[in-house]
Structure 1
Amino acid sequence: MQTLFSIAACQQVVHIQPMVRFQNPPAGLSIDRFFSRNKDKVVIVMGATGTGKSRLAIDLALKYSAEIINSDKMQVYKGLDTLTNKVTEEECKGVPHHLLGTVDPESNFTVNDFKHHASLAIESILERDRLPIIAGGSNSYIEALVDEHPEFRRRYECCFLWVDVTPRVLNSFVSERVDRMVEVGGLVDEVRRMFDPTADEEDYSTGIKKAIGVPEMHHYLRGEACGNDEETQEALLMEAISNIKKNTRTLAHRQLQKIHRLRSKWNWSMHRLDATEAFLNRRRGREGDRVWEKQVARPATVIVSKFLVDPMSTILPHDTTFWLLQHGRL
């Protein structure tokens, strides 16, 4: 398989102070801290769909000399940019992204493919003295990379940031996002362009056709090709949109369950960042941005800054924002 890096032009970013490499543990430094410091550093941003993982990853990349590796199963494929909610060129703000919209949409990009190409991307980023940030909602990709890759934990120290939003608030946001995709983003036209009306039955088990929103549109587009009347088509479209919302909410629930399982299974130092208030204020312009900065971006920056200097010191209680506020760090 060809190399799948997708590098955008990167704007000027602030470089962090390089890590000091020690040949032997300095006096007073434990063996654990010594080996932790000597590993290369990787930041991993996790969370359910729609919680703002890409936004946080870009916020962090602009504060450090960083590049982002996409770990979303559907966003790795070319096409369906609106449906899969890929970040736009404007939203990237010049930050280089890897494995974003680079894979043939008809192929199957497996967990092993991700492990291989993400590892290559990490090494490429580190060779340029930049910080790798992995961001995406496909926790099985992250689990495989971190847990099943023999060399990964030996070579890298990870900082896990979990962007969380209360389910009730997230469900409302997800539904609104689907409506915007339909009304403004052209979701129906995107799926229509890849739909084959001559096929007896579409196969939704491979490539980008597995994305939520493609199978759900089947009956509507089939009815359109068969010449259904307007009233029937309107009902089929409403049903498709309802199913997209329902299946996206189900996905978010499963992703959240997986995050809880991973945190318990390995006792990862996973730092929870509660973005609920920021989502509740998202329609308030600058006020929403201020809340995001206070509740999510700034605490994440504190955590990453400490992690880059001394990874062992970033093992904080799970609700990071609360801890930082209680201890006067914000």
Structure 2
Amino acid sequence: MEFKDYYQTLGVAKTATAEEIKKAYRKLARKYHPDVSKEPDAEDRMQAINEAKEVLGDPEKRAAYDQLGQNYRAGQDFRPPPDWDAGFEFTGRGFDGAEADEFSDFFANLFGQAGRRRQHGQGYRMRGEDRHAKVVIDLADAYQGATRTISLQVPEMDAQGRVVTRQHSLSVKIPKGVKEGQHIRLTGQGSPGMGGGPPGDLFLEIHFHPDQAFRVEGRDVYASVPVTPWEAALGASIETPTPAGPVRLKVPAGSQSGRRLRLKGRGIPGQEPGDLYVELTVVLPPADTDKARELYATMARELDFDPRRAGHGRR
């Protein structure tokens, strides 16, 4: 997938005001709208122009796109970094699949979930609009619960029509047992109401920081734990880490690398808690001393073992 430079598409500078973006869009629309244009690629050009206007004409999506695009140029091979939109507040609901598919794969990958748009034409409403933001927490917070101060970026339009961001810091209680993708609702933290009406709510979508020790699938957690050859062969009781702290684990005799052991209920807490799966990795000691080489040579002589021979497969 290629990175799209929406400023280049509309022919405006990255410092363009909202009014300059509107003018550029109207000028291009008059030239390429399929109903009036004689250009052979009018339909494709108009789709690209509409897509650029959808992003640059919305302060929230524009601010997130500007931050993302600092290190990319048009046509460059592109994959969205994980959680690229974390920390931005967006208004209204997200685009569903059909709406996002009206534009390019680039747009759908970025804004199919993260992008939000304001909803109009819903009639008279006193209550303010809901807002949404993605936040990234530590896996340990899901095990224990926590109170965290979270700073969000709220894109706004200044008096000159340029996008600026305001920092919005708030104290958030992370409930014990929260899952990735779950939403925390903060009542009254959304957009102000109209005519003195109540404000909307702020919904925080929870994601976990990448963790070198653990992998999460739903409420289940996976960990890779190294063991020695004698622990795997003879069995052992070892200490293994979990997001809630170390626990003792029984390694059955005759274990091989890749064997998966289940610690029931040690995954993310909940009414039905997940499980923790420990995958064993047998690690050989290095043969870097005379004594170590002698021991390996003794094993080679005295053990009738060939891993390539039938009957010596994994257990």
TM-score by length of 2: 0.21
Q: More helix per residue: 1 or 2?
A: 1
| More strand per residue | 2
